[in-house]
Amino acid sequence: MSDLPLVVITGASSGIGAATARAFSAAGHPLLLVARRIEPMLELGLPDTIAVSADVRDTRAVADAIAAAEASFGAIDLLVNNSGLMALSSVVEQDPAKVQEMFDVNCVAPMLISQLVLPGMQARRHGTIVNIGSIAGKAIYGDHTVYNGTKYAVHAMTEGLRRENAPHNVRIILVAPGMIDTDLLSNTGAGDVLAGYLGYKASIGGGLKPADVGEAILAAYQMPQQITLREVVVAPTTQDS
């Protein structure tokens, strides 16, 4: 069993979450991986890893998973709030259920899951929370209105959490990726919005790889506890907006 502390990653079945799991496992950390799809997490084949099928909106299920993982591996030292939903559309055409779901998954769930781990981190005066934001939390893009709103909220809440937890020596880090190759677009239907997004990505030579973001998270975490990289914006060099 590893001597390194436990890391929890939500949305770990694909994309940034799976890549971050690989990076931290390679560095020697035990992991708790949480996502709705269990099979892709098991297929990662990572040692000292507990994978749990749970919706991040089900706080009780996540709390139970955390309790079981801490019983096996000790206290959580890092939470990566990575689960996210991006359904691009003009507001007038947006499915009302997707509006609610984006705010619940992107904004509410990270705060409620953070509530589960912060008391222990504060008591130990040690720990880190990484919230995955987006470059869409810094700039407005066409047909991104609701998604923009969720990510602006994540950025604001991350800064608020940082200020609340600075006196407790607990680090709160925002990681905001730019254009990236993940399956986030699976919730955006075929049409002009999707075509425009993919066209721009092709015009800059493609997006980041999830592993690029996973390594950035690992680098920020591996800084000494007294150093917080408050905000890490990582994007393709050729992305101009």
pLDDT computed for residue 38 by the predictor? 98
Give the integer Cα–Cα distance in Å for 3 and 1. Answer: 7
Q: Give domain status of residue 1, yes or no.
A: no
The DSSP secondary-structure symbol of 11 reads: S
Domain that holds residue 120: 6-234
> CB-based burial of residue 125 (10 Å sphere; 0-12 exposed, 13-18 middle, 19+ buried)?
exposed
Listed as ranges, residues in the chain with pLDDT below 50 are none
Domain annotation covers residue 138? yes
Q: Is the residue at 177 inside a domain?
A: yes
pLDDT tens digits, one per residue of 179-204:
887 666 555 555 666 676 777 778 88
What pLDDT does residue 189 have? Answer: 59
Q: Which pLDDT does position 81 carry in this prediction?
A: 98
10 Å CB burial of residue 141 (0-12, 13-18, 19+) is middle
pLDDT at residue 206, as a whole number: 79
- One of 147, 152, 197, 221 is an active-site residue; which one? 147
What pLDDT is recorded for position 181?
79
Q: Give domain status of residue 83, yes or no.
A: yes
Q: Tell me how far apart the alpha carbons of residues 102 and 149 are, in angstroms, rounded to a whole number.
A: 10
Q: How many domains does one find in the chain? A: 1
The pLDDT of residue 179: 87
Domain CATH number, residue 214: 3.40.50.720
* 172 lies in some domain: yes
**Which structure tokens are listed for 77?**
């030292």
Kindly state whether residue 14 falls inside one of the protein's structural domains.
Answer: yes
**DSSP, residue by residue, 138-155:** TS--TT-HHHHHHHHHHH
Residue 240 is assigned to a structural domain of this protein: no
In a domain, 241, yes or no: no
Per the annotation, the verdict on 200 as an active-site residue is no
* pLDDT value, residue 180: 87
Tens digit of pLDDT for each residue in 137-168?
Answer: 999 988 999 999 999 999 999 999 999 999 99
